[in-house]
Structure 1
Amino acid sequence: MTNLFTSDLKVINVGLDAFADSIIQNGGNATKVAWRPPALGDTNTGRALATLINNEEVDAANRIALSRYLAANPVLKGVGKAANSVPGMGERTLLHAGPPISWEEMGGPMKGAIIGAVIYEGWTETEKAASEMASSGEITFSPCHHHSAVGPMSGIISPSMPVWIVENTEHGNKSYSNFNEGLGKVLRYGANSPEVILRLKWIEKTLATVCRAALQNIGE
């Protein structure tokens, strides 16, 4: 302690950067440690998170999940229509990426993709009408993962879209994915112009039909 005020200080700053900034601005030596309280300082959430560390129940579940992942044997079974293939796909249901979310909470790209899907399905003809329908509660929004499905980026899957059907022959479960639109203006990024809808229709009417026939011809 006797040399504290006469030696060159090297400060390690934990917390607000402003403290380290003041030292540096005055010619001092400070290292910033990028640390924040767990759960942004929420005590109850922090304690809940702490119980997950070295938790045998969690570790056991992770081991089971990993073993099933490693044992999986995915086999492409065919091409189907989402409405007829994806479990729980209702007549006015749109699947999306991520967790459950309302229309009001969706980001711009996802809203754009929803609008495009509504027009693609023929439920409305204009973006304005599609937006009004989406906000009216008439459409059911549901995460892809709640239906054993996946979709890229915004993840939109609508009833008329063709989907790949993949079966895990090790455990018997099936998964579903929509077709890749390619590059350029695409629904997955929120584009919904006429050319985007036209490409989706081509995928539905032509590409999916050819792929379905090819798979039926060559088998698994």
Structure 2
Amino acid sequence: MKKTFNFKRLARRTTVVIVLLAIAPLTAQAAFIDFSGSIKGGSTLFGSMPAPFHAGDALTGYLEIDDAAAQPGARFDNSDLLGWGLSIGSVDFTQSALSTSLFSGRIADDGSALSSFELGSLFVSMPNCENCTVGLTSSQTGFIALVKDFCNPWLSGLIWGQLDTDLRVPPSIDPPTDVAEPAPLALFAIALVFIGWGMRRRARS
């Protein structure tokens, strides 16, 4: 039995390939906001630093948000959050968090950093404090955090310090510079159609 060439199948597959190539550059990206800073001071009701923090402890972390919410001057909240991480001193809040929290902030007008950021009361388990909350508010250059110890309220207090933020889109997910334009894609499709037509004529003969 002579095997005939399935022209319709080729056309369908060609259409699928063209559509996938066309929408690939439109895939959503993620923007990252990196934190770096350190504690400059802190105090409880008794004047001591809230445990387990110390002056000089590093603050590091990041926010991963939808890049549509990372435009200059734009505001973002939990609905834009894709991931996060935060460590202050020996405490990794990402791992010790006992609940989710409310995140909100605003991108600086030049689009390079945060102009403000707020992390609502986050329940955490820390050394010497198994039932605590931490809330953090920051400006473009500094932060202040309220640490509440529900087991030992007299150990609750504030810590504050310097904070730098940097907004970036990882190069690995930047739109490629050599994406095929619609015109070459159309020529590619036409070429496939003609190849299929030729193969079909040959099969008939």
Range class of TM-score, shorter chain = under 0.3
Rg larger for: 2
Name the structure where helix makes up a greater proportion of residues: 1
> What TM-score does the superposition give when structure 2 sets the normalisation length?
0.21
Name the structure where strand makes up a greater proportion of residues: 2
